[in-house]
Structure 1
Amino acid sequence: MNNAQQLRKDAIAIWKAGVAAVDATKLVREQIEVSGDTVRVAGKSHAIHNIRRIVVVGAGKAGAGMARGVEDALGPELCESKLKGLVSVPADCVGPLEKIKLHAGRPAGVNEPRAEGVQGTQRILEIVGDLNDRDICVVLISGGGSALMPLPIDGITLEDKIAVTKLLAKSGAPIEELNTVRKHLSGIKGGKLAAAIGTPHATALIISDIVGNPLDLIASGPTVADRSTRAEALTILNRYAERNAIPDSVWEILEDDEAAPTPHAHQIINQIIGENGTSIAAAKAEAVRRGYEVDSLGSDNVGFARDEGVRLAQHAVQRRAAGPNSYCLLSGGEPVVKLADTDQPRKGGRNQELALAAAIELWDDGAENICVLSGGTDGEDGPTDAAGAFIDAGVIAEAKSQQLDPATFLEINNSYPFFENAGGLLKTGPTHTNVMDLRVVLVDPSS
């Protein structure tokens, strides 16, 4: 195995170690314990003989793994006698469970609200509205929940919400701004799900996919009282949209400063059970085990994906020149892509765009003894079947042999075909977790 192949193998193994550390099934199992006549959820104890039902609802890319964790933790007897529920997940995450139904809230690779997601959301509200004080409600929330649990507020249509989501995403709006707008156009986000739950015994287990783990923004905060205002959402939309680019109904909703507040909700426990820092720590341990000196840029790296790619590539070159130890740089967060105006077909995601920008920076250099990998921990990068991409000497050599010009691909955000042809796609399938992106940069100056 040559050095490029070894670096690639190591980078993928380090990235996968980071993802494994935030396995959704494991994270949920750690929060639920059955002992004698007691079941504990996030540290709160409930006497089993007093429980009528344990009801599980939720949405997110990690939903299938989280639901499996509930069933594993409760065991066959409690599942059979007490458990029911529905969790909305991407279609390629649907699989058989004992008592919790996994609902296909959208197709795979289409991170937008769909009619089937609305149907699932309506069913979730029916389920939680039927609860009483002898029931326990466990809400499973993870990234991607905004699109998987849509419910347009009265006065706008699903198509209106899709138009807003597409415009903000195309314009490069960060997830914090996107979800602030979504909350004010939704009948379930911004604490409205919590308000609909009919039992005071409710706990939300949350896997964070946003920098800083803001409870009110993860999946647009369905179980957290909304601190933002319609005026703030209106300011965000004005920043990115011309008046005629968005349906009038949306503007009218956001301009209504006498909107009813979120109804009163029972007290609900909101518990973060997984986040990007856990992933980085596990990746670091694996890199050290493989003999690398490790630095970390932390979990709060945002900005534009292509700028981040250039930064990481430059850091790798500088570190290679410094030598002599094998070196690993880790980075977490979620940069954005600003889409170019073009009529040409294109395909890609933010991780692939980041790696493509790194390829341009390393093109003349050849990326000798360097590997830059960027992948979404959910296994889904944009509307593609790849988690992300990597760049190394082998990928650059293959691209040059096929006369692929990376700048031409990057110009129209068309990263997927470049890596598909050059052999740099990272494909994992759904990972059933989601804690933003994880990037691994490896340098071996001694080779």
Structure 2
Amino acid sequence: MDIQPKELLQQLFDSAVAAALPKGNLAEYLPKDTRQKAVVIGAGKAAASMAAELDAIWEGELSGVVVTRYDHGAPCERIEVIEAAHPVPDDAGERVGRRILELVQGLGEDDLVICLLSGGGSSLLSLPAPGLTLSDKQAINKALLKSGAAIDEMNCVRKHLSGIKGGRLAAAAYPARLIALGISDVPGDEATVIASGPTVADPTTSAQALAILDSYGIEVGAHVRAWLESPESETVKPGDERLSKAEFHMIATPQDALDAAAHLARSKGLAPLVLGDCIEGESREVAKVHAAIAKQILKCGQPVQAPCVILSGGETTVTIKGNGRGGRNSEFMLSLFNELKGQAGVYALAADTDGIDGVEDNAGALITPELFARAEAAGLKAEDYLANNDSYGFFSQLEALVETGPTRTNVNDFRAILVLPK
């Protein structure tokens, strides 16, 4: 078996990303008659590529606007694409949020709205609730990102501080028909969590949002607390008549990405071991479990025999205690590197399928057995860099970063650990 480990890991990642692109995945969820007029809105890292695909296949009149992350745009003839900040919102996101809300207000029951949603939409579609400011949301968002809160916790807070999320966008569009198409970046593929669920009912409450803030010790101004304690802050709940004309379809998921990678692995003569598409937890701790599985495969041939590849997805978290650079995938890889210590026969890649790990310019990192000796020779100690949350600094010195640029989709983290016989 002739395997080039680094090339194979990159191919696995590329196949996972390709399976999650809008192209070819969108048409089946559209109305049979694409000659009618439609208003298009959307938000997320994949919003521009979704809009471009819709623009290419829709036969009728199209107009509208979508917002995506800076440098994630795509050419689109009939739909305006605006770029804004992620993961902390900026005024561009606030302005487009207001525009999108205004676009759908006043429509009739014969009108059609197509809403394109993907990961990142929570920050990109930022319209503060009445009485709140963008700076309020920015401060709370930064604190949540540093706290290690899970994505569903962060989005619960975001929804209750928003004038457009948590079903409010669909409520504003009523009585028009609204078709929402989503690319999932969240564990469990919950429509209520993707982009903070602007078109679906929200079962969470303002009291839960307050409890989350309190549990992580995040201080908020008196006016923010007063808003969350008021009935007005509640999101649109299940059974609300204003959601009766709204539907939601998932066009790509993390499992689709893992299935594509598993298929490629089999074609190369490798047994795929898929651990799951919704793995959560502290990045460095999740890495320890993955390392233990790789060691067990080499030692005992359990739960599968080498040659094989361990695949997993989901969204881990990083509780920031240092002042270094790096996202959750790079931190996962640094912890994995530290556990394996150059274990012969084990190669690994972890990267965000959107091409951006956190706020850095890399997607993730890739390690090989010989990298450990290189690090030691350079005097680089993984423990020190982990303590400072500086996975980017560590891997950049070893030229082991994975850099892809924006992929214009987002189905969360992708991890592949290749285990070859000694």
1:265 and 2:242 correspond: yes
Number of residues of Structure 1 aligned to a counterpart in Structure 2 = 415
1:335 and 2:316 correspond: yes
1:32 and 2:30 correspond: yes
SS in 2 for 1:373: strand
Counterpart Cα distance in 2 of 1:59 and 1:419: 32
Counterpart Cα distance in 1 of 2:317 and 2:329: 9
Offset of residue 258 of structure 1: 6.0
SS in 1 for 2:259: helix
1:150 and 2:123 correspond: no
Matches within 5 A, 1:260-299: 262=236, 265-266=242-243, 267-299=245-277
Counterpart Cα distance in 2 of 1:235 and 1:382: 26
8 Å Cα contact 1:33/1:74 also seen in 2: no
Matches within 5 A, 1:195-234: 195-234=171-210
The percent of aligned pairs where both chains have the same amino acid is 38
Offset of residue 128 of structure 1: 1.2
1:430 and 2:406 correspond: yes
SS in 2 for 1:359: helix
Offset of residue 134 of structure 1: 3.5
Counterpart Cα distance in 2 of 1:431 and 1:393: 28
Counterpart Cα distance in 2 of 1:406 and 1:325: 27
Greater displacement, 250-259 / 6-15: 250-259
Matches within 5 A, 1:100-119: 100-106=79-85, 110-119=86-95
1:175 is matched with 151
1:192 and 2:168 correspond: yes
SS in 2 for 1:137: strand
1:326 and 2:307 correspond: yes
The partner residue of 1:93 within 63, 66, 72 is 72
Which amino acid in the other structure matches residue 14 of structure 2? K
Offset of residue 26 of structure 1: 2.5
1:58 and 2:34 correspond: no
1:42 is matched with none
1:18 is matched with 16
Which amino acid in the other structure matches residue 142 of structure 2? K
Matches within 5 A, 1:282-431: 282-322=260-300, 325-340=306-321, 342=322, 344=323, 346-363=324-341, 366-431=342-407
8 Å Cα contact 2:44/2:117 also seen in 1: yes
Offset of residue 264 of structure 1: 5.0
Return closer, same or farther for 1:13/1:28 CA change in 2, 3 Å cut-off.
same
Counterpart Cα distance in 2 of 1:229 and 1:95: 36
8 Å Cα contact 1:137/1:199 also seen in 2: no
User: What are the ranges of 5 or more consecutive residues in structure 2 without an aligned counterpart?
Assistant: none
User: What are the ranges of 5 or more consecutive residues in structure 1 without an aligned counterpart?
Assistant: 40-47
Which amino acid in the other structure matches residue 333 of structure 1? G
SS in 1 for 2:71: helix
Which amino acid in the other structure matches residue 281 of structure 1? D
8 Å Cα contact 1:312/1:372 also seen in 2: no
Once the two structures are superposed, what CA deviation does each residue of 1:300-334 show, in whole Å capped at 9, x if it has no partner?
Answer: 21111001111112221221223563111111111
Return closer, same or farther for 1:260/1:153 CA change in 2, 3 Å cut-off.
same
Counterpart Cα distance in 2 of 1:414 and 1:260: 39
Offset of residue 288 of structure 1: 0.7
Return closer, same or farther for 1:145/1:259 CA change in 2, 3 Å cut-off.
closer
Return closer, same or farther for 1:22/1:95 CA change in 2, 3 Å cut-off.
closer
Offset of residue 335 of structure 1: 0.9
8 Å Cα contact 1:25/1:67 also seen in 2: no
Counterpart Cα distance in 1 of 2:234 and 2:225: 17
Counterpart Cα distance in 2 of 1:333 and 1:399: 29
Counterpart Cα distance in 2 of 1:255 and 1:279: 41
Counterpart Cα distance in 1 of 2:392 and 2:233: 43
Which amino acid in the other structure matches residue 256 of structure 1? S
8 Å Cα contact 1:28/1:273 also seen in 2: yes
Counterpart Cα distance in 2 of 1:331 and 1:209: 14
Counterpart Cα distance in 1 of 2:74 and 2:259: 30
Offset of residue 64 of structure 1: 1.3
SS in 2 for 1:227: coil
2:116 is matched with 140
TM-score (norm 2): 0.94
Counterpart Cα distance in 2 of 1:261 and 1:296: 36
Which amino acid in the other structure matches residue 66 of structure 1? M
Counterpart Cα distance in 2 of 1:227 and 1:269: 17
Greater displacement, 294-303 / 22-31: 22-31
Offset of residue 282 of structure 1: 0.6
1:237 and 2:213 correspond: yes
TM-score (norm 1): 0.89
8 Å Cα contact 2:160/2:209 also seen in 1: yes
1:45 is matched with none
Offset of residue 136 of structure 1: 1.5
Counterpart Cα distance in 1 of 2:413 and 2:306: 26
Greater displacement, 353-362 / 293-302: 293-302
Counterpart Cα distance in 2 of 1:257 and 1:377: 38
Counterpart Cα distance in 2 of 1:442 and 1:134: 53
1:72 and 2:70 correspond: no
